[in-house]
Amino acid sequence: MTYKFAAISGASSGIGRSVALKMARENVSVAIFARRIDKLENLAEEIKALNPHVKVFPFQGDVRDKDSVERFFNTCELEFGPLDIFVNNAGIAYSKPFTHLDGKQVQDLIETNFSGSIWSIYHAMRLFEKRNTGALINISSTTILKASQAVPLYAATKLGVAGLIRSLEEKYLTNKDIKIINIIPGPTLTDLVPGTIGRVDAESMISPDDIAHWIWLAINSPKNCKVSNLVLRNSGVF
């Protein structure tokens, strides 16, 4: 399949930003969604300079607000036409034991990583089902694979979304035109947990550009060789 248009949540920094740049390099137009519009607008300028042949649409929104998520998907299709790829990437993390989180942090983790992901995937999948085509990429985490003492509630929100992804993947297993891919990265060099960079060995962490590279390979796998869960592990102890 030739992909023409991708939407990416949480594209203002880190993995989402790298994915947007990778898509643009591969001639895919991008709709980029996040709260920090200044960062999105800077990225849009960078993309236009990188590849003047693609369109870029920065959209300020908050995945905790389900109306803003719905507006994003509606506007996307009005601006660009059919959506080919959605990368569910927006997320936050607090590195604290469960009972040390305050009430606002608990609420934000659930509303961003869990509810925000569910609403985003819901709208993307409705568009894919309407035309029976599309690729859904979910950015999960290796915290779904083993118990996490550092980020227990974060792990729970990621595991919850992975449950939905597993059901969708099963549903579309025999459908050659809808791809459901769960990307499961280990520690990655981004600002997700402020203060991490500097405390840990940066060279042992994954680069967000590498994740973008693997996403591109995964969505371009042959139709009879679907990638479902792709674990990307870092090379050292975190």
Ligand X SMILES: NC(=O)c1ccc[n+]([C@@H]2O[C@H](COP(=O)([O-])OP(=O)(O)OC[C@H]3O[C@@H](n4cnc5c(N)ncnc54)[C@H](OP(=O)(O)O)[C@@H]3O)[C@@H](O)[C@H]2O)c1
Q: Which stretch binds ligand X (CB under 6 A): 43-51, 83-91, 99-107, 169-177?
A: 83-91
Q: Which of 47, 83, 90, 218 binds ligand X (CB under 6 A)?
A: 90
Cβ atoms within 10 Å of 132's Cβ, excluding its own:
11
Considering only CA atoms, which of 152, 67, 56 is closest in space to residue 113?
Answer: 152
Tally of residues, the chain:
238
Least distance CB 223 / ligand X (angstroms): 27
- Given the residues 3, 94, 122, 154, select the one marked as catalytic: 154
Cβ nearer to ligand X, comparing 13 with 220: 13
Least distance CB 47 / ligand X (angstroms): 15
Whole-angstrom Cα Rg for the chain: 17
User: What Cα–Cα distance (Å) separates residue 1 from each residue in 64, 152, 170, 185, 223?
Assistant: 32, 38, 21, 25, 9
Q: Which of 188, 218, 226, 227 binds ligand X (CB under 6 A)?
A: 188
Least distance CB 175 / ligand X (angstroms): 26
Q: Which of 5, 16, 155, 165 binds ligand X (CB under 6 A)?
A: 16
CA 53 to chain centre: 24
Reduced to 3 states (helix: H, G, I; strand: E, B; else coil), residue 57 is strand
Q: Are 32 and 11 in contact (CB under 8 A)?
A: yes
Q: Which stretch binds ligand X (CB under 6 A): 70-78, 128-136, 172-180, 190-198?
A: 190-198
Q: Which residue is nearest to ligand X (CB)?
A: 14
**What is the arrangement of strands in the sheet containing 229-232, beginning at the earlier edge strand?**
56-60, 29-34, 5-9, 85-88, 134-139, 178-185, 229-232
Q: Hey, CA dihedral for 198, 201, 206, 209, is it positive or negative?
A: positive
Least distance CB 1 / ligand X (angstroms): 25
154 is an active site residue: yes
Q: Which stretch binds ligand X (CB under 6 A): 28-36, 44-52, 95-103, 128-136?
A: 28-36
Cβ nearer to ligand X, comparing 29 with 120: 120
Residues 85-101 as b or e (16 or more Cβ within 10 Å = b): bbbbbbbbbbbbeeeeb
Is 129 a residue that touches ligand X (CB under 6 A)? Answer: no
Is 64 a residue that touches ligand X (CB under 6 A)? Answer: yes
What are the residues whose beta carbons fall under 8 Å from the beta carbon of 52, sequence distance 6 or more? none
Is 20 a residue that touches ligand X (CB under 6 A)? Answer: no
Q: Which stretch binds ligand X (CB under 6 A): 71-79, 84-92, 173-181, 223-231?
A: 84-92
Is 58 a residue that touches ligand X (CB under 6 A)? Answer: no
Where on the chain is the footprint of ligand X (CB under 6 A)? Answer: 9-16, 34-36, 39, 62-64, 89-93, 112, 116, 139, 141, 185, 187-188, 190-192, 208
Catalytic residues: 154
